[in-house]
Amino acid sequence: MASKAAVKRLSKEYVAMQKDTPPFVWAAPDEKNILHWNYIIRGPPDSPYAGGEYYGLIMFPSEYPFKPPGIKMVTPSGRFQPDKKICFSMSDFHPGSWNPAWSVATILTGLLSFMLSDEMTTGSVTTTVADKKAYARFSHAWNCQQKRFKDAFPEYCEPVMKDLPNMAEKELGGSRAQLPPTPINTTPPVPLPSGSSSSAEQNRSLTEVKKDLPVQQAPKEQLNDGSGGGAGKNALSWGHVLWNRWYWGLFLAVALALSRVTSNV
């Protein structure tokens, strides 16, 4: 049962999440238990996860914010074992490095940064970039077939992915990174095995997943600058691309450095 301090803190964090949503993430508490939160992470452009939608759970202890939460990613991603706890500096694997000032927004931003790194830990797997892109293309269709996802985020269970509240338009100066829509594939998905990532069984499963993927090119960053045609439009588009690459490179470098500094490993 949640303590009064935990209920008060998490209620404030949900209000803050709605007012100032971090880029590429969204989260909300379960209607029946404020200690259990459901989250969505969308893969940023220029990453192997571009166009991907990753659903997971944050399980807060009753002593929150004085103790860290457990964190899972349910959607097969090629980075983490589905539905297994993830060990990183902001999870309950490292209570000694936990900072009570960290919030749901901080945790999800840190998880996204850790996801984009190659650091191995408990709950992670090793796959190729091509594998991660394949899982990204299949992710929305997979989520829409899961009861937990449909119950938590019915507004996002549509044939075409709906943008999260902040798809980084603030950081891009009002422009939004547009990703190709992902149609729902009705073929039952094949999840990533929970065993060794290098096993032949995993390779076979991934091959079956790829066969069921919708015919679609790997997502590429497309920026809509809203201008007219000609050289002026091309120059403005390239300006957004350069700004996007510089900003996210700096953002992820700082977030990853924070994660590693606070880790006990």
Alpha helical stretches, state H, the chain? 4-19, 104-116, 129-143, 147-152, 200-212, 231-262
Which residue among 50, 58, 87, 112 is the active-site one?
87
Average pLDDT of 175-196?
Answer: 40
Domain ranges of the chain: 4-216+251-262
Which residues lie below 8 Å from residue 247, measured CB to CB, with a gap of 6+?
171, 172
pLDDT tens digit sequence for 112-137: 999 999 999 999 999 999 999 999 99
The reply to whether the predicted model has a pTM over 0.75 is no
Measure the CA–CA gap between 46 and 244, rounded to whole angstroms: 9
**Residue 12 pLDDT level (bands cut at 50, 70, 90):** very high
Partners of residue 43 on adjacent β-strands? 50
pLDDT tens digit sequence for 81-100: 999 999 999 999 999 999 99
Residue 87 catalytic?
Answer: yes
Measure the CA–CA gap between 130 and 136, rounded to whole angstroms: 10
* 147: pLDDT strictly greater than 70: yes
The CA-atom distances, in angstroms, between 190 and each of 46, 201, 208 are 26, 12, 7
Given the candidates 3.40.50.410, 3.40.50.300, 3.10.110.10, 3.90.920.10, the CATH classification of the domain at 4-216+251-262 is: 3.10.110.10
Measure the CA–CA gap between 153 and 39, rounded to whole angstroms: 9
What's the pLDDT at 230?
Answer: 40
Nearest to 90 by CA among 77, 109, 73: 109
What's the pLDDT at 175?
Answer: 40
Q: Going edge to edge, which strands form the sheet with 70-73?
A: 25-29, 36-42, 53-59, 70-73
147-151, 205-209, 253-257, range with greatest mean pLDDT: 147-151
pLDDT tens digit sequence for 29-55: 999 999 999 999 999 999 999 999 999
Question: Please, what is the end-to-end C-alpha distance for the chain in angstroms?
Answer: 31
* 171: pLDDT strictly greater than 80: no
**Residue 229 pLDDT level (bands cut at 50, 70, 90):** very low
What's the pLDDT at 250?
Answer: 56
Judged by average pLDDT, the poorest of 112-121, 153-162, 180-189 is: 180-189
